[in-house]
Structure 1
Amino acid sequence: MSSAPSTFRFLVAESETPEAREQRRSSVGRSSGETYLDILRKLAPGANCDRIQPADADAALPPGATLAGYDAVFLTGSPLHLYEETPETRRTVAFMRAVFASWTSSFGSCAGLQVATVAAGGTVRANTRGFEAAFARRITPTEAGRAHPLLEGRPAAYDAPAIHADEVEALPRGAVLLAGNRVTAVQAAEIRFDGGVFWGVQYHPEIGLDEVAGALRRQADGLVEADLARGGEDVEAYARQVDALHAEPGRRDLAWRLGLDEQVTDERHR
């Protein structure tokens, strides 16, 4: 039996456009890919992590690297709408098909799940129930999800950081639905395609509450338009409470006010 590799090699695929990357950096100090790099290095100290921007026209792997040479590929969130035919979405979907064909295991959050869905033959649409903003509530594993390693340790219903205006409309043939809630039917899934395996979630387990607050501020106009807030001041007031809980995650008063428990406030569970 061959021994396990002494050092993992991970690839983070960041499909934000250059403009979105800079907006996110201005808001919370890091792009979505940089957030993933931080959390992977925390979870797997010593791992070698590379980053690629597959939506960019000049995207390329590091010299000498191949997708099959990575232990796992991680797909970040993104403002891309996968039901729109653009050069960015075409490049991103083509990249994901190459990941599947490489047989390299992959994971994605939010738009990452949507990218894998479209790459494997499923469909994505605008949320029929509107924005799911700040937190996805009462996510419930399916029978398959309760037995799946992706959701191991999760309770019968849980909340998670989330902010998205699109959703999976139909999973690809052979995919396994692992969790959903009242707002978004597909909150977690396993997708097998062309020899590859992908696990994904519609929410954002990788982000801290400071990034939730930043996302709310960046999308304040959309939240007001969706009737989730009366005005920008309402969004800012909510974001300030989320920021305060990030600074002091043990504050039970803030957790109570926001309706959150340790599944969100404790990063070990999140």
Structure 2
Amino acid sequence: MSSSHPTLRFLVAESETPEAREKRRESVGRSSGETYLDILRKLAPGTACDRIQPADADAALPQGATLAGYDAVFLTGSPLHLYEETPEVRRTVAFMRAVFEAGTPAFGSCAGLQVATVAAGGSVRPNARRLEAGFARRITPAEAGRAHPLLAGRPACYDAPAIHTDEVDALPPGATLLAGNRHIDVQAAEIRFGRGVFWGVQYHPEIGLDEVAGALRRQADGLVEAGLAAGHDDLEAYAGQVEALHREPGRRDLAWQLGLDEQVTDERLRRAEMRNFIEALGREGLLAVGK
């Protein structure tokens, strides 16, 4: 997207706990919210971006700001389990309900989709079939997804960066399933609730392959325990290949060994959903619910 909408104002909602933020920074040099801020500034130059941590007890919008005053809210990934009754979960879900009530369009990835689902009356559970670690494979748009602007430019089947232990169990009333795969029923969805609308994906269009490698390393114990790697050496070898492909995305040998194509290795294609959402903000009536 060009700077044709330089007055847009975005809010990034980073629901990682302080401990998770620091672990991610130690691993890849940035928190999930910082990754989002970086990508949004590249996709929409000139846009004003703020950040909030809704899981934190002292979370607050910048002085004088209101949710209705933003053009869009972006919900990041997070290690929160939305089926747990913790203060962090309650605060994050309450924040998302306020976003819906404000009528501000929202986009989210991974836990962001799960937060919006629970806030609108749906449910989340631990992955029922198996973990998706590294990449979600063979994502297929549903009938509604084939014509939905969120997935514009995506082929009939594609892969995307993903790593998560939970999934959407049941979408809320008023939601539309946009994509799934053989392991996860809900890979993309639109949720309408109250005055608001949310577009979200279970995967991570915002992260680079270096962040995929970092996530694999941070969750190494659980991935070995789940049988996705024979041991830590095997997992490190796999993460090393992913990281090497990040450094040299044109290496056909690594892409072939990892079973990836340009939908993952080309950062412009990888970020399709975020770009589509931002471009849709300028289309009168499509996302401007209640505005």
Scaled by the length of structure 2, the TM-score of the pair is 0.91
State the partner residue of 2:73.
Answer: 73
Q: Aligned equivalents of 2:183 and 2:11: distance in 1?
A: 31
Q: Contact 2:163 / 2:215 at 8 angstroms: preserved in 1?
A: yes
Q: What one-letter code is carried by the residue in structure 1 that aligns with 2:243?
A: D
State the partner residue of 1:214.
Answer: 214
Task: Spell out, residue by residue over 1:203-258, the C-alpha distance to the aligned partner (whole angstroms, 9 max, x if none).
Answer: 00000000000000000001011110111111100000000000000000000000
Q: What one-letter code is carried by the residue in structure 1 that aligns with 2:27?
A: S
Q: What one-letter code is carried by the residue in structure 2 that aligns with 1:255?
A: A
State the partner residue of 1:50.
Answer: 50
State the partner residue of 2:238.
Answer: 238
1:107 matches 2:78: no
Q: Gaps spanning 5+ residues in structure 1: where?
A: none
Q: Contact 2:6 / 2:47 at 8 angstroms: preserved in 1?
A: no
Q: Gaps spanning 5+ residues in structure 2: where?
A: 271-291
State the partner residue of 2:87.
Answer: 87
1:262 matches 2:275: no
**3-state SS of 1:176 partner:** strand
Alignment length (residue pairs): 267
Q: What one-letter code is carried by the residue in structure 2 that aligns with 1:42?
A: K
State the partner residue of 1:145.
Answer: 145
Q: What one-letter code is carried by the residue in structure 2 that aligns with 1:147?
A: A
Q: What one-letter code is carried by the residue in structure 1 that aligns with 2:213?
A: A
**3-state SS of 1:61 partner:** coil
- Cα offset, 1:5, TM superposition: 5.6
**3-state SS of 2:101 partner:** helix
Q: Aligned equivalents of 2:129 and 2:142: distance in 1?
A: 21
State the partner residue of 1:64.
Answer: 64
State the partner residue of 1:157.
Answer: 157
Q: What one-letter code is carried by the residue in structure 2 that aligns with 1:210?
A: D
Q: Aligned equivalents of 1:225 and 1:102: distance in 2?
A: 43
Q: Calculate the aligned-residue CA RMSD, in Å.
A: 0.8
Q: What one-letter code is carried by the residue in structure 1 that aligns with 2:158?
A: Y
Q: Aligned equivalents of 1:77 and 1:198: distance in 2?
A: 15
Scaled by the length of structure 1, the TM-score of the pair is 0.98
- Cα offset, 1:154, TM superposition: 0.4
Q: Aligned equivalents of 1:140 and 1:197: distance in 2?
A: 22
Q: What one-letter code is carried by the residue in structure 1 that aligns with 2:54?
A: P
- Cα offset, 1:130, TM superposition: 2.1
